Structures are given as C-alpha cells and as structure tokens.
Structure 1
C-alpha cells in the first residue's frame, strides 16, 4: 500500500507576516523602552554633584544595545517565518491565540521599563545628600585642621598654633564655636593651598584666599567674608632702584596678584614661594627688591607693624593697572555643596554680628582703612554642584 506523504502547506503571500502588524507589536516594547531610556538619561544629566559624562552616556548606550539586540532577533524570526515551507503544527489554533504570549510579555516589559524610568527620575532628580557631600556638622567634628598663612600681621600670625591671632584666625575660631569643633591651625603658603585641600591635609583654608575661576575649578569656596584690591608697596629708601617700565616687583607665587603681574606690561614679576620671602628682601637695604605687590589690606597691616618708611599705592590707579576686587573665601574639597551652604550661612551671620569688631581689633588698629572691605553677604553661586 502506497504511503501518502504528509501534506505540506506552503506559505502564500497572504499568510506572510504583515509589516504593519509586525511593527505594531514591536512598538509595544520599543516605545516604552525609548521613553524610559530618555527619562533616565535626562534624570542623570540633571543630577547634581559628581555625575560625570561616562555615567550619563552609559544609560542610552546600554539601553540602545539591548533594544537593537531584541529588534534584530525579532526581525530574524520574522524572516524565517516568511521563507519557511513547513507544515503548520497547529492548523486548528487561531493565529491570534498563538501570539498572545508576545502581547503579555510586551505589556510586562513596558510596565517594568516605565516604572524603572519613574523611579530613576525620582531618585536622581532629588538632591541626594550623599552626592551633595557632608554638611558642616558631619564634616567639622572634633579637631579640625585649618590652613592659615601664619605670617601676616593682622590676619594670622604668632609664635605657635595656640598663640595665632588675626582676622582669619578669629573667623576660624568663631566657626569652631558655632559648629562645635576645635580648629588646629597649620601654616600653608599660597602655592600649597589647593593641593593641601585636594589631598586632605587640611579640611579648611582661611588664608586671604581669593575666590576665582582657577580655584573653583579644583575646590569649593564659601564667601566672600572680606573684600580687597591689589596694591603696590614701595620701599621709599630704595626708590632710586626703581627704573623704567617694566618695573621689577616681588610677588607670592600662585596668587591672583602673580597672574595680574604676568599679564601687565608695566611690571616684571619676581615670584617667590611666599610673601615672607619678598618681605625679607624688601626690607633688606642691600637687596634690590624695592617693589612688592599684594592685597592692599595685607600691605597696610604690614606697614603698621614696621618702622621702615614705605608707601602703599592704590592698585586701581592708571599708573599701576592692577585693578579688580579680591573676594576672600574659605576653601574646602570640591563637591561639598551642603557644607558650602552651611558655611555661607555662617559667614553671613559673622558679617552681620562679628565682622566690625574683629576688623577693628585686628586690622583697623594696624592702620588698615575701613572703606570697601565689608561684603554685603555671601554669594550662593560659589556653592556649585
């Protein structure tokens, strides 16, 4: 008896998967996935304090890879269905029921992706305390290393850490009383302020530290607590050494004034590691350093501490060309937004309640003029994310 071969059902054009139907099915998971991907990326981009570009790009790249992989598998499966010539194993089962699992899977995936995107948006757009760094009560505890210059009369000077006095020292001690910590003072010269903060050698720097873009690129700063301007100091007994421009002028390295001299056609900067090095040669009658450049209040306080005849020239004059306001701030590690806010509020309180008496005791008594030094308040723009 002749065996009948099984009937083979060939795929006809009408049986092949419909393009519109295929892409509608893919849209069930693709659209929610794209929405979740975009929402997650926007949320990460808006996140403050430390989310870098690599982290942000990882979301769309990873999600796109998954979506492209799933889509490629579906396209491959669709192509096999369109070209295969096989018997229909379930001829009596309606086609709609056969693909019901795909709809349920797509719906479940959509819900998961949408919920994930919503949770990510809520978590990352909220200001995470961990990402904003510690606040003052968390960061300033116990004994706190505070960097000061330690050699500026009226600002921070003395024979030992326990005997330091001056405007910066008084501010640091006032902060210690407010936030319940004990400041331990440590000398830092201008060149070492940034690396000592970055390396964690000191927690705060209160040292005639100007708030500027160079500093804010590496650390955070709260302030200003004092405002000043550049000035030229001339040793009157060495005036015969001052020749034609550019004038040789001593200046501390890694300071705003050093940058100003470097960009001035009137002066030839003689950079030293600290202002104390300039002072040693400035007051030495056998040395040819006759000009010094620093902030006006620093020079005026020094002048009130010496008997050597010196003259302080305003840094904004046409013959000096070193204008611009110096805004002193407190330096601390980068990304500590909560600490910046707390210190800014504290500085505002200090300006309102303590500034005048601290100024009179430490600076006015040394001949520093009272004009233009007291800030109206701190700037919230310094507390960057």
Structure 2
C-alpha cells in the first residue's frame, strides 16, 4: 500500500517527457499544483488503479505490456505532476472499496462520475465523455436498440452500464459478468446476443487491432445508436480531498486543451472519426463533502 505523504518535489522536466511538451508548465513559470498535492511514497510512486481488459483504454495481457488511453493519461499525469505511476489492476466493482481502504491513491479506469459514487469517493475531471452503446457480431439480427427486446445483453457488474440497461431497455435480458472482457468473449462464443457499455469502450473492443476483435475474426460491430445519460470520465480520489481534486482538475484541463489529448485519443482509438465529440467542455466544482 502506498504511504500517503504530501511531499514537495521538483517540477517535472518537460523535455524528458515523450509527447508531453504541450501539457507542461511554462519554463520558469509556477509548477503545477498537482506536484505538491498528489500523495506519493518516498520514491515518488503513486499507485493508480486501471482496468486491464479494455483494449484502447487500459489493456495489459501481462504486467509489462500496458496500453490504451487511460494508461497513457496516467503516464502523462505522472510526467506533469512529477511522480512515477505504479499501475494496479482493478475491476469496476472494486474501485470504491480500493480508494476507501487506501489500497489505491487514484483510479483512472473509465470511471463515470455519478451522484451515488460521490457519496463515498470524490472525482477530478472529467477528461472524456460518452454515452452508452451496443456491440454485436456481424450478421446479428440486432440492428438497433428496438431489436434488443427479448435478447440477452451483457454488462459488467458494478458499472453504470448495467443500471442504464435496466432503466432504459427493460425488455432486454441482463447478463452481468465480472468485466467487459468477459462480456465480449461471451458474445464471441455466442453465449449472449450483445454487449452494452459506454460507446467509447466498445470502440476499443471493436478496433481492428484489438485482441478480442482478432479473436472474433473481425466480426465485432458497434451500432450507431446510443442511449442513456452522458457519461463523464473522471479521476477517482479519496472522499473529500478538495485540494487534490482542484489540483488534478487543473492538470486535466492542461491535458484536454493540448494537442496531447487529441494525439493520444487518436492513437488509442484510431477508428473513432470525430474525437472532438468525446472531449469534455465543462467541469464540476471541487467542494467540501467529497463532491468533485
């Protein structure tokens, strides 16, 4: 477990950070607030919870092979705020518990900001936005949301995806699994008829270079239809850490207005033709009581 210390550290050296120049503090200017605000251990390491089964977002077939937008964003944050990322695998249903217990310092795991979650953890951000979509196999008779009635649709436990599926498409049959990687394999094997979660996550699974798309022999397809409320991805932090929230939100702002955000997004999700649709424009305020 990471020792929680607020330590003064030197400002990150932008010249040493790959593709990060547009997100660094101006030379000779004030260092980013997150340099002092982000807790770290004696070796400047910060333990960050990441999914490991979401191609395009955070995917790790082994501990040395992380990739995806969330993982690259965690690395960017480390360069910008002057710490080393210790990536730690986390399941969706475990995110709040891991933050509350102190097992993790931060969570960057397609973590949607919701009022219910803000009762127990806080959020900085958002750094991306999306809505819920549906993925099927080529040749499926499911061509739109109206076709899901009576069909089995998989969603991950502990996610807003399962909740929205029940609320907005009550005639579909919900099948919950421990992660969307398991859901996608169930779709490939014919155990479920569709997978439903954030459209951005589905784009990652259906990308041409996704391991699961290769496993499906190129047959995974994301429908154009979306439903439900807008999902805003934020950085999960311990409840009530207002100073940390403000510092990280300032860092997120530096990232999303820079060329880095666009380049990283396009590299992680090359099939998405309009990245700007998913760039957030508004921020929630960091306030007392854990609200971010």
Q: TM-score range by the shorter chain?
A: 0.7 to 0.9
Matches within 5 A, 1:6-155: 137-141=36-40, 142-155=44-57
Correspondent of 1:326 among 226, 231, 242? 231
Give, in angstroms, the shift of residue 323 of structure 1: 2.4
Aligned mate of 1:256, from 160, 164, 183: 160
Instruction: State which of 56, 60, 67 in structure 2 corresponds to 1:158.
Output: 60
Q: CA deviation at 1:212?
A: 0.5
Q: Structure 2: any 5+ residue segments left out of the alignment?
A: 1-32
2:69 to 153, 167, 177: 167
Q: Does 1:229 align with 2:128?
A: no
Q: Deviations over 1:157-178 (max 9, x none)?
A: 1333343121111111111112
Out of 339, 359, 363, the residue aligned to residue 265 of structure 2 is: 359
> How far did 1:153 drift?
1.2
* Residue 300 (str. 1) matches residue 203 (str. 2): yes
CA contact (8 A) 1:224 1:329 kept: yes
Quick check: 1:149–1:189 contact (8 Å CA) kept in 2?
Answer: yes
Name the SS of the counterpart of 1:227 in structure 2: strand
Tell me the number of residue pairs that the alignment of Structure 1 and Structure 2 aligns: 243
Which residue is equivalent to 2:192?
Answer: 289
Pairing 1:310–2:220 present: yes
Residues 34, 81 of structure 2: 8 Å contact kept: no
Q: Separation in 1 of the partners of 2:101 and 2:199? A: 31
**Mapped partners of 2:244, 2:107: distance in 1:** 14
Whole-angstrom CA distance in 2 between matches of 1:221 and 1:384 = 12
Q: Answer yes or no: is the 8 Å Cα contact 1:135–1:338 preserved in 2.
A: no
- Look at both structures and tell me which one has the larger radius of gyration over its CA atoms: 1
In structure 2, relative to structure 1, the CA distance for the partners of 1:329 and 1:259 (3 Å cut) is same
More helix by share: 1
Assess if the C-alpha contact under 8 Å between 1:297 and 1:368 holds in 2.
Answer: no
Which whole-Å CA distance do the structure 2 matches of 1:383 and 1:372 have between them?
Answer: 31
Matched residue SS, 2:104: coil
- 1:235 deviates by 1.6
Give the Å deviation of 1:149: 0.5
Structure 2 contact 58–71 (Cα < 8 Å) conserved: yes
Residue 375 of structure 1 is matched in structure 2 by: 280
Task: Verify the 8 A CA contact 2:70 2:108 in the aligned structure 1.
Answer: yes
Question: Which has the larger share of strand?
Answer: 2
CA contact (8 A) 1:222 1:382 kept: no
Q: TM-score, normalised by structure 1?
A: 0.59
Q: Alignment RMSD, CA only?
A: 2.3
Match of 1:342 among 244, 247, 251: 247
Q: TM-score, normalised by structure 2?
A: 0.76
Looking at both structures, which has the greater relative contact order when contacts are Cα pairs under 8 Å and sequence separation is at least 6? 2
Residue segments in structure 1 that go unaligned for 5+ positions in a row = 1-133, 317-321
Deviations, residues 270-302 of structure 1 (Å, cap 9, x unaligned): 111111111111111xx3312110111111121
Alpha-carbon distance in 2 for matches of 1:368, 1:244: 26
Tell whether 2:85 aligns with 1:180.
no
